[in-house]
Structure 1
Amino acid sequence: MVPVRLTGPRLAIREYHHTPEELDALHALYSDPEVTRYLPFEPRDRETCADQIELYLEEAMAEERHTYRLAVVRREDAEDPEDALPVAHASLTLGTYRSAYLGYVLSRPVWGRGYAGEIAGLLCGFSFGALGLHRLAARVDVENAASAKVLTRLGFRLEGHVRHDLYKGGVWRDSYQYALLADEWTGPSGPSGPRQGG
């Protein structure tokens, strides 16, 4: 396993640790109904979150890694990002033809600070740089205007309206699909995006 660590101005993205503190942080995120409102699952209990961290670590150890589910921490919270507790979650799911879906979820106390844009930007830089991907896509609930704005600011283009994309809570929900190509990415650190490492 080559651990992922992406560093931005205020945030760092790294692998999860299987500790009680990290489990508490993930549970705080995924047990909040407001946070999971636009996610494809209902709020999760602590046991399910513990299973999730185990899965994330298994995926990280895979010989050929296709899924990156990563902890997002604030750099101000600790000298070393490995010691800071997650305030958000970031994900990349690789597909065919050098493509991937990206995602991010933030805990409610850090909403409204521009962190989603920084997370998505770091994922773009990693995808088009280190991973050599050609296309990134994201699905956004049609009511999630804040997330749509984040993607648009990064250069993602709206590709379509996906009807009845998700069945949750007894209701069908629609999504917008956005995508960004490698040659369209002009992130904060140039064509290869933010740096990986320290």
Structure 2
Amino acid sequence: MVPVRLTGPRLAVREYHHTEGDVDALHALLGDPEVTRYLPFGPSDREDCADQVELYLEEAMAEERDTYRLAVTRLADAEEPDDATPIGQASLTLEGHRAAWLGCVLARGCWGRGYAGETVGLLCDLAFGPLDLHRLAARVAVANTASVKVLTGLGFRLEGRLRHDVFEDGVWSDSYLYSLLADEWPGPAVRAEGG
């Protein structure tokens, strides 16, 4: 495993650690109903989050890694980004033909600060740099205007609307599908290490 460590102006994106701190931080994130409102699953309990961190570490150790679920931290929160408490999660799920699905979720107290744009930019740098991908795609709930703004601000283009894409609590909802191609990405916005 080559650990992923990406550094932006204010944030770092790193592998999860199977520590109480990382599990607690993931639970604070994914246990919040407001944070999971637009995700395809409801709030998670702490035990589920501990299991998720274990799964993330197994995925990171795979011989041919195809899933990157990474912790987002603030650089100012610790001497070393590896010691900082996660404030969010970033993900890339690789598919065939040099393509991947992208995802990002941040703690409610971090909304509105530009962290989502910085995080997605770091993922784009990783995807189109060391991973040599050609295409990134993201699904966004139609009502999630903040995520739409982040994606379009980074150059993602709307491909269409996926009708009745998600079924939750007995209700169907639509999603937008956005994509970005390697030749549309202007290049590394920040220094990235790992891959």
Give the TM interval when normalised to the shorter protein: over 0.9
RMSD after superposition: 1.0
Corresponding residue for residue 155 of structure 2: 155
Query: Match of 2:36, SS?
Result: helix
**Structure-2 separation of matches of 1:17 and 1:68:** 13
Q: What runs of 5+ residues in structure 1 fail to find an aligned partner?
A: none
- TM-score, scaled to structure 1: 0.96
Alignment partner of 1:30 is 2:38: no
1:165 aligns with 2:170: no
Q: Deviations over 1:127-165 (max 9, x none)?
A: 000000000000000000000000000000000000011
Number of residue pairs the alignment of both structures matches: 194
Q: The residue matched to 1:59 in structure 2 has which SS?
A: helix
- SS of match in other structure, 1:65: coil
* Structure 2 CA distance for aligned equivalents of residues 57 and 193 of structure 1: 27
Please state how far the C-alpha of 1:195 moved relative to its aligned partner: 2.5
What aligned pairs does 1:48-67 form with structure 2 within 5 A after superposition?
A: 48-67=48-67
* Residue-by-residue CA offset, 1:5-37 (whole Å, 9 max, x unaligned): 000000000000001111110000011000000
What do residues 90-127 of structure 1 show as CA deviations (whole Å, max 9, x unaligned)? 00000111000000000011111000000000000110
Q: Distance in 2 between matches of 1:84 and 1:51?
A: 21
For residue 117 of structure 1, give the secondary structure of its aligned residue in structure 2: helix
Counterpart residue type for residue 57 of structure 1: L
The aligned residue for residue 91 of structure 1 is: 91
* C-alpha contact 2:9 2:190 (8 A) present in aligned 1: no
Following superposition, the deviation at residue 169 of structure 1 comes to 1.0
Aligned partner of residue 192 in structure 2, secondary structure:
coil
Residue matched to 1:176: 176
One-letter amino acid of the structure 1 residue matched with residue 56 of structure 2:
Y
Superposed structure 1 runs of 4+ greater than 3 Å apart: none
Q: How does 1:1-198 map to 2 (within 5 A)?
A: 1-186=1-186, 191-197=187-193
Q: Percent same amino acid among aligned pairs?
A: 70
